[in-house]
Amino acid sequence: MSVLSMDIGGTSIKTGLFDSQGTLLSTSETDTEAYKGVDSLINKLCGIISSHKALHAVGISTSGQVDARTGRIVFATEAFPGYTGTPLRQILKERTGLPVAVDNDVNSAAIGEAFFGAGRNYNDFICLTYGTGIGGAIVIGKEIYRGADGIAGEFGHMVTHANGKPCVCGKRGCYEMYGSTRALTENVRKATGKQMDGREIFMYFNQPKIREIIDSWIDEVVWGLVSLSHIFNPPCFILGGGILNETYVFDQIRLKLKRNVIPSFKNSIVKPAQKGNNAGIYGAYWNARQLLNPGSDM
Ligand SMILES: [Zn+2]
């Protein structure tokens, strides 16, 4: 049995081929070219699928809000013209004749971590990914908690600053305007005039001005986690995103979270995501695998 898994991001589509044991046999990557429109994107996906022989199912992890029950794209930004409203699962099913599972990228990554990564030993955890924005997922009993409209877990849009900076969502003061990696790089750019990515910023870690910006950004990250800790009291937080590879960031988050929650909440474990950029294809594999063998434990 083999399953093809695809993770559709703003810049690239990552593809993974899995065997029945959940072993990732091979990966490849191609440009999304989402600007060419939805028909071109679907042709590209079908092309990738048809270049693999003897598939049993396809799993898709994608940018945008997804109704995972129907596999329809509920909402996508203007980076994906025409994608909003696309019944992706139905189209791919009709064109390939294969069972297809579709979920959004953050939920797929959380499922990937739940069964193959940092969440293996936890039934319940809260997952956050720090990048351009802040993605979130709530895992309860090894399943995504989806909410009334299938879109729960938008932690990036918790308000951490009343009447704060305007956010891409149209509201103000959202967590991701302060705690995302982009917020850090923006703060550094404003202070130094230099555009640096997260890794470059840490090359100047010993400069007091940079250090101060990093420390106040970590405080912003922690404020969001403090609220989530008080709401969920989760056994575990799993945090992903390239910036968290910096040991200093991770250690400070752990320390400051413990220091800032009500003492009875300090037992939550904070773990780094383990599957990195592959978490999405692992989760999409798992979702597709469930279509063939529901409830299977591999
Ligand atoms: Zn927002």
In the chain, beta strands by DSSP E: 2-8, 12-19, 24-31, 57-62, 65-67, 72-75, 100-104, 125-130, 134-140, 143-144, 236-240, 269-272
Centroid of ligand 1 to alpha carbon of 32 (angstroms): 25
Give tens-digit pLDDT for 174-198.
999 999 999 999 999 999 999 999 9
- Please check whether residues 97 and 210 belong to one and the same domain: no
> How confident is the model over 109-150, as pLDDT tens digits?
999 999 999 999 999 999 999 998 999 999 999 999 999 988
Ligand 1: centre distance to CA 97 (Å): 39
Pairing state of beta strands 134-140 and 143-144?
antiparallel
Distance 48 CA to ligand 1 centre (A): 34
Residue of 85, 22, 26 lying closest to 57 (CA atoms): 22
- pLDDT score of 298 more than 50: no
* Mean per-residue pLDDT, 64-68: 91
Spatial separation of the C-alpha atoms in residues 80 and 9, rounded to whole Å: 10
Q: Report the separation in Å between the CA atom of 142 and the middle of ligand 1, taken as the mean of its atom positions.
A: 27
What does the pLDDT read at residue 79? 86
pLDDT tens-digit map of 16-28: 999 988 999 999 9
Give distance in angstroms: CA of 95 to centre of ligand 1: 36
CA of 165 to the centre of ligand 1 (A): 9
Which range of residues forms the domain containing residue 41? 2-109+277-292
Position 228 pLDDT exceeds 70 = yes
Residues 142 and 224 in one domain: yes
Range 226-230 average pLDDT: 98
Is the pLDDT confidence value at 297 over 80?
A: no
134 within some domain: yes
pTM summary value: 0.91
How many A from CA of 46 to the centre of ligand 1? 34
* Domain at 261, CATH number: 3.30.420.40
Residue 114 lies in a domain: no
Are 88 and 140 contained in the same domain?
no
